Amino acid sequence: MSDEYLWDKTGEPDEETAKLERALNENRWQGTLPDDDAMRRAASAGSRRAHPLQMAAALIVVALIAWGVWWQVIPRTGTSGGSGAPGDTLPAYRFETLAGSPVIENGIGPLDAEQLLAGQRLVTDATSRARVVVGDIGSVTVEPDTRLRVETVAAKAETDAEHLLYLERGTMRASIFAAPRLFQLGTPSGIAVDMGCVYSATVDELGNTWLSVDAGVVSFEADSREVTVPQGASTRAYPGRGPGTPVWDGAPVAYRDAVARLDEGEGTGLDLHEMIQLNDLDHSLALWHLLDHADEAIAHGALQALLMLSPLPQGVSEHDIRAGDPDALDAWNASFDWTWVHTPKGKLKPGS
């Protein structure tokens, strides 16, 4: 087929093109609507066998309708209104009542709508529970006596979250399966950054936060400290102080107490020695987070204890570890079962 044929019909037509033109011509607009009998005959014939071109046209119409619905109901960046500014993303979350009568504050009153909007707060009493659907990446279960707020995610904010909730008080359980850092949970003690996992968080009346991870890994981040909480571990965080050293859920009370004293600056080398004497526990998680302890003797003791668990890889020196070299830390951390480590920018990345 020549290019001239496509423009002015002067060239030689391609056989497939001519066939398509004939098919289209049979269905072209004739200038008048068919009468009722013709419409009924066409409908009857269509119910028996639809022409491929008619099916394609129908699919296009359906797609356009679906796009229009999407445009109306999906929150978009650049929308202003509510508590957000132009350029902010104003998320909306579907929810359902699981028990009792949860309410929404700062907005629409009782839970009688389908969305929880930015700036609104979901509140449950002693007999109420609710589930919040977080886009297409998971959900959050809100337990009794809980206050959960939806935050506006600013397009140019420091956070790289696409979904940001804030747990003011009470207990929630998140089940999120998405790329790292897309979902984040603020608390009075810091931010729980989801890496694609299942975890629970509780905030008491003083703002103290308890975070426990059932699957995956969470980075708990505050200005003063960031820690990695892998599956099967927990951490406690405090307003103004940030998260404490994560500990495996199966750790005995004596181990937890020793770690707590070290976190609070009241511990000594004896506490570190007491931790290590518990031979039935993997100490690498707690020891790793003591490498930057303010007491140089504690940090050095944690380093030496870790070296007994796993020697440094080739090309990595103790000096590199003490200096906090990110590549050295990544390479060494990969030898442990939990392989998510911090980088200087406060991000997390998987160990190799």
Instruction: Give the pLDDT band (50/70/90) at residue 75.
Output: very low
Give one DSSP letter per residue of 296-332, joined into a string.
HHHHHHHHHHHHHHSPPPTT--HHHHHTT-HHHHHHH
State yes or no: pLDDT of 4 exceeds 80: no
Per-residue pLDDT, averaged over 193-218, amounts to: 93
Least confident span in 139-148, 153-162, 212-221, 246-255: 153-162
**Domain assignment of residue 349, yes or no:** no
Domain range for residue 167?
76-244
State yes or no: pLDDT of 73 exceeds 50: no
**Domain assignment of residue 262, yes or no:** no
Largest CA distance in the chain: 96
Residues above pLDDT 90, as percent of the chain: 39
In this prediction, residue 95 carries a pLDDT of 84
**Domain assignment of residue 299, yes or no:** no
CATH number of residue 99's parent domain: 2.60.120.1440
- Residue-wise pLDDT tens digits, 86-106: 445 556 788 889 999 898 887
Between residues 152 and 80, which one has the greater pLDDT? 152
One-letter amino acid for residue 41 of the chain: R
In this prediction, residue 77 carries a pLDDT of 34
**Domain assignment of residue 137, yes or no:** yes
Q: What is the 3-state secondary structure (H, E, C) of 156-174?
A: CCCCCCCEEEEEEEEEEEE
SS3 22: helix
**Domain assignment of residue 278, yes or no:** no
State yes or no: pLDDT of 247 exceeds 70: yes
Rounded to two decimals, the pTM is 0.68
State yes or no: pLDDT of 169 exceeds 80: yes
State yes or no: pLDDT of 230 exceeds 60: yes
Instruction: Give the pLDDT band (50/70/90) at residue 178.
Output: confident
In whole angstroms, give the CA distance from residue 32 to residue 46. Answer: 20
In whole angstroms, give the CA distance from residue 237 to residue 260. Answer: 11
Between residues 6 and 222, which one has the greater pLDDT? 222
Helix (H) or strand (E) holding 240, with range, is: none
**Domain assignment of residue 286, yes or no:** no
Number of domains in the chain: 1
**Domain assignment of residue 25, yes or no:** no
**Domain assignment of residue 67, yes or no:** no
Instruction: Give the pLDDT band (50/70/90) at residue 113.
Output: low
